[in-house]
């Protein structure tokens, strides 16, 4: 926790001093196609018993609770920008699982800033994250062109690649990683947002069943998810969440849980981290991440170009020999050479 404090204060009190900037938290969470109602007013029983008792049965399909769509969410410490930050749904939509026409219609009907990404397995990758960061920069610079952007995200494998950091540098984005194992304590989306979002989704599903004979109609989860994201993320001011987790000018308003683990602000030394300290922070022995995380975007690009020039030239691998012919399981050997002219 002390290293995390030194790193964040180094960004806020040294690197970003005098700049017009916004802090944006990005994180992913799985959205189920169906949610059971919260316990308390729900009775889990058979349909026959429910009919005998005259109560409404809740029909939840196992395929619905196991089906998922990834939500890539953004919140900012600037209330004026929050309604415009992209909120991205990433359904499983590769060649093996194409999106149905009904689902495409519902996705297309989602209000801005909700959008979707097709052609993936439903999980984030380096390619999808580069596209996502591009959308984020475009959304902010359309409204405030001179705004510097500090992206706060966790240290999962998809986020810890030099390709992603170099792309962020090309976009002019600063990147800070929440240490492995501290997202429950220091990441705004995990601490304040996703729990409320899942509670809202359960309530929306309960209301949908109430009006539809105890079950959620097919494809309705897309519209329900859109309503919940609009209500919980898009249309709320989340700037206070950053202040409560130490991303404000002082520690006066931090949460009691964070105060238990954090040093007082006057005892925090704002400084860059060493290679060993950075390895502790991200949970990986990746010394090459240090310059990408502690330098400004222009300096990062210069370092990347210098590394590319210094890299030795590697000869391409020799071409592979032609594979042998196989006919009905019979091996016929390599192809014959062309006849002489």
pLDDT at res. 238:
97
Kindly list the distances between the CA atom of residue 150 and the CA atoms of 13, 84, 159, 247, 259, in Å, as whole numbers in the listed order.
13, 16, 15, 11, 24
Cα(272)–Cα(293) distance, integer angstroms: 10
CATH of 2-310, one of 3.20.20.70, 3.30.420.10, 3.30.565.10, 3.40.50.300: 3.30.420.10
Which residues are bridge partners to 27 per DSSP? 73
Other Cβ atoms less than 10 A from the Cβ of 71: the count is 21
Q: Which residues of the chain have pLDDT under 70?
A: 37-48, 50-67, 284-288, 294-295, 298, 300-301, 303-341
pTM reported for the whole predicted model: 0.81
Which residues are bridge partners to 89 per DSSP? 71, 116
Tokens of 265: 């602000």
Give the burial class of 147: count Cβ atoms within 10 A of its Cβ; 0-12 exposed, 13-18 middle, 19 or more buried: middle
- Which residues have CB under 8 Å from 27's CB, separation 6+? 72, 73, 153, 154, 183, 187, 189, 190, 194
pLDDT at res. 257:
94
Q: What burial letters (b/e) apply to 252-272, b meaning 16+ CB within 10 Å?
A: eebbeebeeebeebeebebeb
Q: What is the enclosing helix (H) or strand (E) of 139?
A: helix 126-141
Tokens of 78: 């600037």
pLDDT at res. 328:
44
Tokens of 245: 């987790």
- What sign does the dihedral 206-212-216-222 (CA atoms) show? negative
Unique residue bearing structure tokens 């006849």: 339
pLDDT at res. 307:
60
The answer to whether 289 touches 160, Cβ cutoff 8 Å, is yes
Unique residue bearing structure tokens 């002489």: 340
pLDDT in tens, 68-110: 899 999 999 999 999 999 999 999 888 778 888 999 999 999 9
Render 188-200 in DSSP notation, one character per residue: HIIIIIHHHHHHH
pLDDT in tens, 262-286: 999 999 999 988 878 887 877 766 6
pLDDT at res. 44:
57
The torsion angle over the Cα atoms of residues 273, 171, 186 and 22, rounded to 10 degrees, is 110
Helices (H), 73-116: 101-108
pLDDT at res. 274:
83
Other Cβ atoms less than 10 A from the Cβ of 29: the count is 15
The domain locations on the chain are 2-310
Alpha carbons within 13 A on the beta-carbon side of 268: 23
């Amino acid at each position: 926790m002390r290293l995390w404090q030194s790193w964040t204060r180094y960004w806020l009190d040294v690197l970003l001093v005098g700049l017009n900037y916004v802090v944006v938290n990005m994180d992913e969470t799985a959205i189920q196609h169906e949610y059971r109602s919260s316990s308390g007013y729900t009775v889990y029983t058979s349909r026959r018993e429910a009919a005998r008792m005259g109560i409404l049965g809740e029909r939840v399909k196992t395929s619905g609770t196991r089906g998922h769509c990834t939500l890539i969410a953004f919140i900012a410490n600037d209330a004026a920008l929050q309604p415009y930050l992209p909120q991205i749904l990433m359904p499983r939509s590769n060649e093996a699982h194409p999106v149905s026409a009904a689902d495409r219609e519902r996705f297309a009907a989602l209000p801005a800033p909700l959008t979707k990404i097709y052609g993936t397995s439903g999980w984030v990758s380096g390619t999808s994250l580069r596209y996502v960061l591009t959308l984020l920069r475009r959304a902010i610079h359309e409204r405030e062109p001179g705004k510097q952007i500090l992206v706060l995200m966790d240290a999962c494998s998809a986020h810890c690649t030099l390709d992603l950091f170099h792309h962020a540098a090309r976009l002019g984005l600063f990147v800070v990683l929440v240490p492995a194992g501290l997202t429950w304590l220091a990441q705004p989306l995990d601490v304040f947002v996703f729990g409320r979002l899942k509670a809202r989704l359960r309530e929306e599903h309960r209301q949908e069943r109430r009006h539809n004979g105890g079950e959620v109609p097919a494809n309705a989860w897309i519209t329900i998810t859109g309503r919940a994201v609009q209500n919980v993320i898009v249309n709320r001011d989340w700037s206070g969440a950053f202040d409560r987790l130490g991303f404000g000018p002082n520690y006066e308003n931090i949460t009691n849980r964070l105060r238990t683990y954090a040093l007082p602000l006057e005892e925090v030394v704002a400084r860059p981290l060493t290679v060993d300290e950075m390895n502790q922070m991200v949970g990986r022995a990746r010394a090459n991440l240090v310059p990408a995380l502690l330098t400004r975007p222009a300096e990062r690009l210069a370092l990347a170009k210098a590394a590319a020039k210094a890299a030795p030239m590697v000869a391409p691998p020799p071409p592979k020999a032609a594979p042998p012919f196989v006919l009905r399981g019979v091996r016929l050997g390599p192809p014959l050479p062309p006849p002489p002219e």
